[in-house]
Amino acid sequence: MANCRLSATIIFHIDDRLCFLRLNGEGSLPVSQFQGYVDAIDTHSGIIRGWAINLRNPLQPVRLHVVMDGQEVMQALCDLPREDVRSTLHTPSEKLGFQFTLPPAALDEQPHEISLRFADRSALPFPDRQDPNKTHDVISFIHSSQIEYRSCVDGLHEGLLRGWVVARQRPSEPWRGNVIISVKADGLSLGTFRANHYRGDVVEALQCEPNCGFEVPIPQQFHDGIPHNFSVTSIPDNIPLAGSPLITALVDDQLAAKLVQIENTIASLHTQLTALRRETHNLIPKRPLNLQHYDRWARRYYTHLSEQTALQRQAHPLKDTPLISVLCPTWRPDEGDFRAAVDSVLAQTYQQWELIIVDDGSACPRTTKLIQDYCKNDKRIRSVVLPKNQGIAGATNAAIKAARGAYIAFFDHDDLLVDVALERMVRAALTTGAKLLYCDEDKIDAAGHFLEPNLKPDYDYRYLLGCNYICHLTVMEAELVRKIGPLEGQYNGAQDHDFLLRAVELIPREAIHHVPDILYHWRKTPNSTASNIGNKSYAVKAGTDCVAAHLHRRKIKATVSSIDRLSLYAIQWPFRKQPSISIIIPFRDQLEMTRNCVDSLLTSQKYRKFEIILVDNFSVEKATLSWLESIQRHKQVSVLRVEEPFNYARLNNLAARQSKSDQLLFLNNDVIITQPDFLTHMVHETLASPTVGAVGARLLYPNGTIQHAGVAVGPDVIGVHVHRLQPNTDFGYIGRIRLPHEVTAVTGAALMVPRTLFEELDGFDETYLAVAYNDVDLCLKIRASGHTIIYCAMAEAVHHESYSRGSDDRPEHEARFFHEKQVMLERWKENLLFKNDPAYPHYFRQDLRTFFDLRNPEDL
């Protein structure tokens, strides 16, 4: 056994750390003269701690050679006291410990191979993280980028939450200020702030950047003398600052505290009342009458209309009673329908009328006899007999020549006038001085049921290009009718549309007046256009031709086409002018949504003369900041960073001031645009008329239903999205989903406005309408300035509504939302645009079922 060499490993613990000592075969001397152990490796700071000993010379501190990726990068001397190791190994010296920081090159978040070598090139073992019985000569080291903080929440002073915070990425770096923090009170966010106030005391103690303090104003609602929990955390890693949370009470004086408590109680009661009102409203089983119950509603309405007219007649009798000529072309009419039509004229409460019946070559003894009987019984009825059929245009022209009245009313031989129709139309003409007037209408079927009301907006030229929404009953000054010239037979089926388009070429907008009364019943029979446009398919072509001819007279060579072979017309504008556009997109983080919004614009649009201004409202996430750094290298993208509390109006205003473009397109970051012609359609609508002040788009929910097709305004709801949740394939009420038309407001989620006009009107109200209603307020200012707001039906995008900032219905937003609503009510309460939305029929309730639920007739 004398020549046998054995080796052994002694395993022992020092302060709960597993240590190894390898002996040679004789059990006396180690295989290597150097032994030791790595106690800890801090991947954040890069600090490595442990101990080592030279067993042959234990009084001499060991020198370690630090090797990284095969190259020696530094040396470390093991001369720190380690009494725990000395007492365990019974060595003469306690200077066995080491602690050093890896060089900056190792702290780059990339993997590096690290080994610690003794003078004889043997390795100091690293513990295995998975198995304590194993060690490694070389480890893979990856720096952890966790930020280190030092901080203190000092407390509250004069209504300000004060404190300081500094941070550093690596121990070798100095402490820096300008840290972003989040402040909450009782769990509700007070906002994001940057700690950039000067703090000389902190500089003196830490030798750090001086701008590291914060002073956050505490909202008045918390100055109530009641303890509140204030928490401050770093952003984006949400690490609480030292001294957070702070639980304390604020009070300016006893009276102020009492008033704040009362205000908070009122706010709480308001929230409870709002919730209770919604709950009660949902429990009420009786719904208002809607279009499905129109006949029942109409009968109440006509009774109310008669009573209202009688009271008006008594209180304000007409001082002037001009003659009105009612023109009625006819050709072999159904006797019952014709009698009902003429009888409805005879029943008029206004007596100064003449009825001119044109027999358009009927060659029907029965028809001739019927007309002659009426003429004999009432001298106000006169007839004109044409030897040959000339069509409705020719017959109407003959009636115009025979008319003697100061006003002319156009009337079909099988329709009905409400008994007060002429009285209300004449009164409106005399009151307003209008030269062209029209009213609302509905249909009547063979059983006498009222249905399908056409409740119209005030005069809307853009809507008139898309369809003849004016239709019946139309009353014009006779002088204007003759100035326009004869109806054109080539547009039979759309001759009235052509006539109206020629009329609006001659008279100003203010000479056209909508009488918001339902005064005309359009007969609905199996063979009438009211039942099926297919019965008059030729009318569709006549309609496209007359709209194209009108635009040609305006020197616009646009292409006009029918939508789904109906008398609804789409216009492809020929404009080649390309005004520059600044697309302004406010956002905060939400990287995936924001990036999708920007990428969709950059990759999809044929219209290229645009820039994107990203308004970064204090984004803090690393991925977002990295994306912003790269995206602004794109020549069409710039970034404006605004480190302020969220104020939608101000964010957009700041970006608009930076723009030099012709047009501003305010766009939410949750709107995704993939339609290649989106910008083209929007721009063309702005160019279609010099009076256009803003254009909004058709926005869809991700499920394909309507999110926005214009906004109706009024004191009850202030702003409600019309046609909301209807399928995108629907036409909407009288074609409004599919046709561009005027609206009183559009959503700021996709709003185009000329930059000069935006500046003239001082932009969005960032003082009193920071979040809600600022888009409606701007649109009302645009309308009040004499400009129009256009809903562009062709421009389509997907809107993930309220993804950006959430709903205003949340409890923490309710107080702000309430105050902004009060601002709108007070600011616009006397404005007729606000009290009676001219683009939305006042017969409909303004609720989530727009163009569906009907108002109580007695409330009109």
- What are the tens digits of pLDDT across the range 148-161? 899 999 999 888 99
Q: What is the pLDDT of residue 109?
A: 79
Over residues 610-622, the mean pLDDT reads 95
The residue with tokens 């106690």 is 39
What is the 8-class DSSP label of residue 755?
Answer: H
- Count CB atoms within 10 A of the CB of residue 755: 20
On whether the CB atoms of residues 795 and 675 are closer than 8 A, the answer is yes
Higher pLDDT, 189 or 751: 751
Does 258 score more than 70 pLDDT? no
Over residues 503-508, the mean pLDDT reads 97
Does 461 score more than 90 pLDDT? yes
- Count CB atoms within 10 A of the CB of residue 218: 17
Over residues 536-542, the mean pLDDT reads 86
What is the 8-class DSSP label of residue 79?
Answer: -
Question: 413 φ, ψ to 5°?
Answer: -70, -10
The domains of the chain are located at 8-141, 148-254, 320-532, 581-853
Q: What is the pLDDT of residue 835?
A: 84
Q: What type of residue is 390?
A: Q
Q: What is the pLDDT of residue 42?
A: 85
- Per-residue pLDDT band for 324 (boundaries 50, 70, 90) equals very high
Quote the percentage of the chain above a pLDDT of 90. Answer: 73
Does 803 score more than 60 pLDDT? no
Does 372 score more than 90 pLDDT? yes
What is the Cβ-side half-sphere exposure of residue 311, based on CA atoms within 13 angstroms? Answer: 6
Distances in Å between the alpha carbon of 340 and those of 346, 395, 630? 10, 21, 74
Over residues 73-77, the mean pLDDT reads 95
Q: Angle at the Cα of 718 (from 813 to 219), degrees rounded to 5?
A: 25
On whether the CB atoms of residues 622 and 591 are closer than 8 A, the answer is no
Nearest-10 crossing angle of helices 495-504, 537-553: 20
Strands 353-360 and 211-217: unpaired
Q: Which has the minimum average pLDDT: 35-49, 110-124, 197-211, 462-476?
A: 35-49
Q: What is the mean pLDDT of the chain?
A: 90
- Per-residue pLDDT band for 264 (boundaries 50, 70, 90) equals low
Q: What is the pLDDT of residue 29?
A: 45
Over residues 425-429, the mean pLDDT reads 98
Does 257 score more than 60 pLDDT? no
Does 535 score more than 60 pLDDT? no
Give the contacts of 198 (CB within 8 A, at least 6 positions apart). Answer: 210, 211, 213
pTM of full prediction above 0.85? no
Strands 750-754 and 692-700: antiparallel
- Count CB atoms within 10 A of the CB of residue 17: 17
Does 172 score more than 80 pLDDT? no
- Helices in 57-152 by DSSP H: which ranges? 83-89
Q: Which has the minimum average pLDDT: 247-261, 294-308, 675-689?
A: 247-261
Distances in Å between the alpha carbon of 575 and those of 199, 493, 555, 681, 792? 60, 30, 11, 10, 16
- Per-residue pLDDT band for 203 (boundaries 50, 70, 90) equals very high
Higher pLDDT, 816 or 216: 216
Q: What is the pLDDT of residue 115?
A: 94
Q: In what order do the strands lie in the sheet with 95-101?
A: 34-41, 47-54, 95-101, 80-81
**Shortest CA distance to 841 belongs to which of 822, 860, 825, 816?**
860
Does 36 score more than 70 pLDDT? yes
Q: What is the pLDDT of residue 734?
A: 95
Q: What is the pLDDT of residue 128?
A: 82
- Per-residue pLDDT band for 802 (boundaries 50, 70, 90) equals low
**Shortest CA distance to 146 belongs to which of 41, 206, 236?**
236
Give the contacts of 780 (CB within 8 A, at least 6 positions apart). Answer: 713, 744, 745, 828, 831, 833, 834
Over residues 423-440, the mean pLDDT reads 98
What are the beta bridge partners of residue 113? 140
- Per-residue pLDDT band for 27 (boundaries 50, 70, 90) equals very low
Higher pLDDT, 695 or 145: 695
Q: What tens digit of pLDDT does each residue of 373-403 get?
A: 999 999 999 999 999 999 999 999 999 999 9
CATH 2.60.40 fits 8-141, yes or no: yes
Tokens of 371: 């007309």
Tokens of 632: 């602004």
Q: What is the pLDDT of residue 806?
A: 47
Q: What is the pLDDT of residue 7?
A: 43
Q: What is the pLDDT of residue 615?
A: 98
Q: What tens digit of pLDDT does each residue of 554-605 get?
A: 999 999 999 999 999 999 999 999 999 999 999 999 999 999 999 999 999 9
- Count CB atoms within 10 A of the CB of residue 609: 15
Over residues 670-689, the mean pLDDT reads 97
Does 11 score more than 50 pLDDT? no
Q: What is the pLDDT of residue 133?
A: 78
Over residues 754-778, the mean pLDDT reads 96
Q: What is the pLDDT of residue 527?
A: 54
Higher pLDDT, 649 or 24: 649
C-alpha to C-alpha distance for 491 and 389, rounded to whole angstroms = 16
CATH placement of domain 320-532: 3.90.550.10
Architecture, CATH, for domain 148-254: Sandwich (2.60)
- Per-residue pLDDT band for 289 (boundaries 50, 70, 90) equals confident
- Per-residue pLDDT band for 25 (boundaries 50, 70, 90) equals very low
Over residues 274-286, the mean pLDDT reads 64
On whether the CB atoms of residues 140 and 162 are closer than 8 A, the answer is no
Q: What is the pLDDT of residue 2?
A: 40
Does 30 score more than 60 pLDDT? no
Nearest-10 crossing angle of helices 254-283, 811-828: 90
Question: Are 8-141 and 148-254 equal in CATH topology?
Answer: yes
Class in CATH terms, 581-853: alpha beta
What is the Cβ-side half-sphere exposure of residue 780, based on CA atoms within 13 angstroms? Answer: 24
Higher pLDDT, 224 or 760: 760
Over residues 72-98, the mean pLDDT reads 92
On whether the CB atoms of residues 741 and 790 are closer than 8 A, the answer is yes
The residue with tokens 């006169």 is 382
C-alpha to C-alpha distance for 702 and 700, rounded to whole angstroms = 6
- Determine the 3-state secondary structure of 334 from DSSP: coil
Does 197 score more than 60 pLDDT? yes
Over residues 58-71, the mean pLDDT reads 94
C-alpha to C-alpha distance for 47 and 737, rounded to whole angstroms = 66
Beta strands in 539-691 (DSSP E): 559-562, 569-572, 581-587, 610-616, 637-641, 663-667, 671-672
C-alpha to C-alpha distance for 145 and 169, rounded to whole angstroms = 6
Q: Which has the minimum average pLDDT: 494-498, 524-528, 629-633, 713-717?
A: 524-528
On whether the CB atoms of residues 670 and 597 are closer than 8 A, the answer is yes
What are the beta bridge partners of residue 727? 705
C-alpha to C-alpha distance for 279 and 681, rounded to whole angstroms = 42
Distances in Å between the alpha carbon of 708 and those of 247, 716, 774, 841? 45, 19, 16, 18
- Count CB atoms within 10 A of the CB of residue 698: 26
Over residues 778-784, the mean pLDDT reads 97
806 φψ region: left (φ > 0), alpha (ψ -120 to 50), beta (else): left
Q: What is the pLDDT of residue 256?
A: 56
